[in-house]
């Protein structure tokens, strides 16, 4: 029987449980779930034998060093800004680390030290990033092995409500804070399109959406996700005139989201009138009146003002956005706004009130890679790879599972000595991604490939 392995799991958010469940299938693993507040960790470990909880402040360097040193491997599912701190402790203790986050400059700077310590610091092994890398590189390397070239690469991924749960004007729901989703609307996008480098300012991101055809049943649109221009180099596809990685949403989301952006709701400047210390009631009509700089909080006047921020000229889409504004209640004097300090956070509170997943509702993840290929003989074809997965009603969400399980698989392979590449790494080479990919179908995670 193999020796017992001790794993430190930092964080108890919704992706932690599928990861924990996977790791505890091995009777040789013992997992310590650590959070700043021990009761959060305890709530999670109460469901599983072989798991214990502890209180840990990762900003306490001595405490973090001791916790990391006491375990064989640390999984960091806390905010990405803390990963470099965790890796620094791991390097001191010569212990392995796994994260699901992109490799940041601060993490990359630790590569040489991690190699010298002989440890694996595996990153980008969730869904996006993670599973997207695995299935993209599989096809890219197959084409290269056969003497072909990738002339175009498009990858779009979305975590969405299942169709029957997409029952609100945005066609979107939240599993946790809405803030990150809204702030992402301010990100710039950069990618290659037909040989030209395209740069889109955050304020124009929602204007850049276009239909993405995957299955006829889904009315999906996509837009660029941050800077994907360097993936020509990262994926070794220098001949790709188009190289874009983006996000998916249901049709109608961009127009409604852009209206909220135009109205000023992404403003995160602290406002005294919105602070928790402000006295008196705060009806939504007054919030919107102040935001738009109007003299009246009359709902009809507010709605007319909001309509001026709708950019689409499509009559049906304009009606959908107006319906959405009414549905949100942001022009109503009868709906109380939460005092959260900024227009952004007040809106987040309202979205979270209306748009969280309900009892038994399913989420969905959908990921499509699309390749234009020139084969060795000069012929051309299109190859696609689609991953579609639904959450379990009242069970693990698809997003949680597709982030947490690949992370758990990578951790287990490291502990088993099957992933041994040291340094600060991502699943970019076959010896890393193939062992992980082989284990995904047993977890219900796979890709359907087609060539046309």
pLDDT tens digits for range 324-360? 999 999 999 999 999 999 999 999 999 999 999 999 9
Q: Which residues contact 417 (CB under 8 A, 6 or more apart)?
A: none
Q: Looking at the predicted structure, is the pLDDT value of residue 2 above 60?
A: yes
Task: Give the distance from CA 267 to its chain's centroid.
Answer: 22
Average pLDDT, integer, range 381-390? 98
Return mean pLDDT, the chain.
95
pLDDT per residue over 281-320, tens digit each? 899 999 999 999 999 999 999 999 999 999 999 999 999 9
Q: Say how far apart CA 129 and CA 134 lie, in whole Å.
A: 9
* Stronger pLDDT, 280 or 141, i.e. the higher one: 141
User: Among the options 60, 72, 128, 194, which is catalytic?
Assistant: 128
Q: 187-219: string of b/e by CB count within 10 Å (b at 16+)?
A: bebbbbeeeeeeebeeeebbebbeebebeeebe
Q: Looking at the predicted structure, is the pLDDT value of residue 19 above 70?
A: yes
Integer Rg of the chain from CA: 23
Q: Looking at the predicted structure, is the pLDDT value of residue 176 above 80?
A: no
Tell me what percent of the residues of the chain surpass a pLDDT of 70: 100
Q: Say how far apart CA 271 and CA 90 lie, in whole Å.
A: 41
Average pLDDT, integer, range 198-224? 95
pLDDT per residue over 424-436, tens digit each? 999 999 999 999 9
Is the preceding omega at residue 171 within 30 degrees of 0, hence cis?
Answer: no
Could you tell me the CA-to-CA distances from 96 to 27, 35, 409, 410, 418 in Å, in that order? 20, 19, 14, 11, 13
- Comparing CA positions, the residue from 138, 152, 220, 235 lying closest to residue 449 is 138
- Comparing CA positions, the residue from 216, 237, 218 lying closest to residue 158 is 218
Residue 279: what pLDDT?
Answer: 84
Burial of 318 (0-12, 13-18, 19+ CB in 10 A): middle
Residue 175: what pLDDT?
Answer: 82
If pLDDT is split at 50, 70 and 90, which confidence band does 278 have?
Answer: confident
For the question of residue 314 being annotated catalytic, the response is no
């Amino acid at each position: 029987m193999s020796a017992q392995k001790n794993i430190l799991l930092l964080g108890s958010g919704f992706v932690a449980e599928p990861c924990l469940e996977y790791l505890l299938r091995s009777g040789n693993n013992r997992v310590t779930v650590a959070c700043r507040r021990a009761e959060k960790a305890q709530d999670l470990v109460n469901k599983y034998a072989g798991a214990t909880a502890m209180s840990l402040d990762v900003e306490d360097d001595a405490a973090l060093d001791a916790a990391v040193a006491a375990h064989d491997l640390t999984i960091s599912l806390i905010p990405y800004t803390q990963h470099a701190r965790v890796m620094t402790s791991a390097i001191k203790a010569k212990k392995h680390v796994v994260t699901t986050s992109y490799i940041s400059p601060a993490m990359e700077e630790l590569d040489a030290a991690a190699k010298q310590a002989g440890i694996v610091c595996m990153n980008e092994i969730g869904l996006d990033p993670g599973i997207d890398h695995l299935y993209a590189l599989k096809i890219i390397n197959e084409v290269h092995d056969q003497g072909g070239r990738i002339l175009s690469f498009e990858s779009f991924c979305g975590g969405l409500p299942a169709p029957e749960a997409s029952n609100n004007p945005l066609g979107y729901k939240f599993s946790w804070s809405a803030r990150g989703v809204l702030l992402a609307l301010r990100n710039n996008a950069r990618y290659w399109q037909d040989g030209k480098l395209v740069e889109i300012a955050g304020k124009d991101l929602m204007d850049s959406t276009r239909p993405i055809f995957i299955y006829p049943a889904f009315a999906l649109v996509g837009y660029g996700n941050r800077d994907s221009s360097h993936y020509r180099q990262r994926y070794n596809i220098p001949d790709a005139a188009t190289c874009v990685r983006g996000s998916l949403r249901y049709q109608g989301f961009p127009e409604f989201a852009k209206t909220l952006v135009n109205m000023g709701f992404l403003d995160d400047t602290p406002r005294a009138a919105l602070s928790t210390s402000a006295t008196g009631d705060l009806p939504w009509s007054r919030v919107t009146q102040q935001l738009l700089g109007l003299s009246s909080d009359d709902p009809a006047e507010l709605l007319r003002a909001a309509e001026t921020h709708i950019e689409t000229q499509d009559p049906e889409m304009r009606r959908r956005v107006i319906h959405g504004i009414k549905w949100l209640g942001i022009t109503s004097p009868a709906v109380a706004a939460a005092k959260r300090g900024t227009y952004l956070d007040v809106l987040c509170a309202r979205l979270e009130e209306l748009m969280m997943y309900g009892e038994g509702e399913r989420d969905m993840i959908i990921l499509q890679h699309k390749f234009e290929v020139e084969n060795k003989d000069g012929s051309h074809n299109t190859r696609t790879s689609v991953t579609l997965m639904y959450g379990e009603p009242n069970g693990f969400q698809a997003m949680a599972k597709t982030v947490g399980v690949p992370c758990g698989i990578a951790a287990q392979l490291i502990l088993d000595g099957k992933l041994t590449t040291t340094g600060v790494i991502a699943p970019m080479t076959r010896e890393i991604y193939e062992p992980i990919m082989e284990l995904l179908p047993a977890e219900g995670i796979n890709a359907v490939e087609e060539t046309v």
